[in-house]
Chains A and B, each alone.
Chain A
């Protein structure tokens, strides 16, 4: 028994070392410096650890590292709870201090242990924090909530409180008359588009505004004082690292590019520090890109103070941070002032994918609002470059268009893929089931084709997301259950391409879709809504109008034509291949970031 415990512990420790930057004996990234584990791993009950899935292990590692980093040298009691599918993990937000999502909700911990932080602090770390004006009483306990591996966003959303009347009216209109309702939505979009052309105020949160005349007026924000806590020097032998700030670790175009940059950081011989800032089940935390990375799935609100960001301070003390790459991470955008205040020479680059119309402009708007702290804006399409440079007058030298060519598609070796099935044409939808992707347009097209050409078409919808219940409802309402196959995003997308004849992109808004590049590379043509920079890849004969009713009509006619004219399907693909090849002549995002990271690592 004792032997078994020892073996288990050794295996676990090796696993941690491997994942947290230990030397990779059999890895191509063997130049990655070994990294500290920030907690006393021997305190972790081995049998409990071995009972966790690899996803849960990594989530717990992230939580333990986070708390150890901001409470250096302190011994804390950790209570681990196993949540339900409708919950998100609680790893480091203030609920882990006050137990509001766990202990105070009647949950019982599955295991409790005490663990000491091994962090050597280089500056003072407070024990006292506030959430707004409310002090968080620190009893020395941290409540960590893990969730089952099969939990999804839909599980969580199914338990959300009943929507407001306004929301329910919206949903009802959308469900009952999606085409008619699209006119309303299009009008809203035009209004929002106009709004995104207006000047964007620069970010001027309290953190970024020092006292006008230093030392003459107190700086107090919402009754809380400014805390001046300069970071200490780096620890001796601090490994070189790059902070990759992401939205979350789950499927999405920006996330796929984010994961690629993690790989590139390792390739450059540095340690990736992966930060996320959104609630998620974080399924991609187990991906190979995260091997060897320090992953901190942050959930806001964190233990922070006005003027002081302990987790960033700890990272800059424990690592030789060489740069920051942002992929849709609001938390990081809002804390760039701190980085540039204390480390003005640390380069910051952000990646932007599409011009967004909701949330007053979304992340591109944030990029502009925080422009003074960002050294380079990486954009993936000419459309967003134009929006930033010509509309918002960002210095053109700071904006680089480098498409995501090569990451998901290989234009150098492409060939047309013949029809999978002689009788029926298979139409594919790939992407998150969200408002942006407009899944109802795909289903309306399916309904129309089925009505006009019964049995001649089949459809695959691959993806997951918040609108899954809506999509399932429409499939049932239109009686499409037999011809539309729903697939979760966990399945390999390559399989879907192999089994399809044409990709239909119905999005309301895009930059240049990765799925279009993938499909063309896989030898199947793409029909796409004429949004964003899709016209860069898709020729006029493959472009569809933006509005839903027109899009459905055009898509129906085009697909019916392709059904009967295989030669035109191939011609469409050839035109798209040529455009993709021309597009690939631009410096790719991979190449840009490989060069950047090589420079940062020197």
Chain B
């Protein structure tokens, strides 16, 4: 990436003002500042809007960073927020969108290292590297259990060439991902219809079909989630069932419409099996089965940023 390339940091937030403040502070401390900062307020109902208004008014880095606040009329979930934020970055002419949630705190060198890592990958693999993502740690410094990228079979290819901080991956979560402009043009934006869950997996799988992305292990982001543990369908309970519902529908749709019926059947069997082993409440299980059925008809179309949204 040459120096002239513009990076737009895209932060999606919803009712987590205190965490957002930490994110903004982390961004201001970057050794390589983003050229644009796009904060997508997902129709927050707390004081986020007022805070952002004031933050913008008193933005100390206004000379270096072009700050844009996008306030959505309704909460469209993380997926909708990322889609809107990436579209905005495209419209503003950014060459790269650097996306993360409002609970991801990039370490001071996170962007600098991410950009360097991306450049190194491009120099080795060619111009088609679709993304670079950071190492995601939990706030205590241990690895974040639910944000481990999935490596390719030849994950060490760049390591063998001396790039010890680069690992080839084809799937990661939206906690610090650098997405080039051409990827948005060629592959479109994340499915906003997913609302939440599996939008990041689907998107990174979509854009890395031809060429893998890279995880830059010395670009570190701290993920401030409540509890550091992975997720699977045996963990469904009353409190989180709404999220898992989206997860089942979205992943079921992906398996069926993008991978084929066999993958869909295997996925459904796996969900069934995990819920059985986890003794998930039968009513919640029925909810998930309904979501599986819903995924048969749920097949959103790709939005491309160069096209105006469908009216």
Residues of chain A whose beta carbon lies under 8 Å from any beta carbon of chain B: 126-128, 130, 134-140, 215-220, 223-228
Contacts and interface: CB of A to CB of B under 8 A. Distances in A.
Interface string B277-311: 00000000000000000000000011110111111
B311 A216 contact: yes
Contacts of B186: 128, 130, 135, 224-225
A212 to B, nearest CB: 12
A134 B182 CA distance: 15
A216 B127 CA distance: 32
A139 B211 CA distance: 10
Interface in B153-187: 182, 185-186
B218 interface: no
A223 B302 contact: yes
A578 to B, nearest CB: 64
B187 to A, nearest CB: 9
Contacts of A126: 182
B125 A139 contact: yes
A322 to B, nearest CB: 32
Given A140-B126, A218-B303, A223-B302, A135 B308 contact: no
A134 B304 CA distance: 17
A127 B127 contact: yes
Interface in B210-258: 210-211
Interface centre among A128, A134, A137, A226 (most CB of B within 10 A): A128
Closest 4 CB pairs of A and B: A218-B307, A135-B210, A225-B304, A127-B127
B307 A128 contact: no
Chief secondary structure at chain B's binding surface:
loop
A140 B124 CA distance: 10
B112 interface: no
21 contacts: A126-B182, A128-B182, A134-B210, A135-B186, A138-B126, A138-B127, A138-B128, A139-B125, A140-B126, A217-B311, A218-B304, A218-B307, A218-B309, A220-B302, A220-B304, A220-B307, A225-B306, A226-B304, A226-B306, A227-B306, A228-B306
B210 A136 contact: yes
Interface of B: 125-128, 182, 185-186, 188, 209-211, 301-304, 306-311
Given A127-B182, A215-B308, A220-B302, 10 more contacts: A128-B182, A128-B186, A136-B210, A137-B125, A137-B210, A137-B211, A139-B125, A218-B308, A223-B302, A226-B306
Contacts of B301: 220
A591 B185 CA distance: 49
Contacts of B211: 135, 137
B127 A225 contact: no
A572 to B, nearest CB: 65
A217 B304 contact: no
A217 B303 CA distance: 10
A138 B308 CA distance: 29
Contacts of A130: 186
A225 B209 CA distance: 17
A135 to B, nearest CB: 3
Contacts of A219: 307
A218 B126 CA distance: 30
B128 A225 contact: no
Given A217-B311, A227-B185, A139 B126 contact: yes
Contacts of A227: 185, 306
Nearest to B182: A128
Nearest to B212: A137
B311 A128 contact: no
A217 B310 contact: yes
A135 B127 CA distance: 12
Contacts of B306: 225-228
A133 to B, nearest CB: 9
A491 to B, nearest CB: 48
Nearest to B309: A218
Contacts of B302: 220, 223
Contacts of A139: 125-126
A137 B310 contact: no
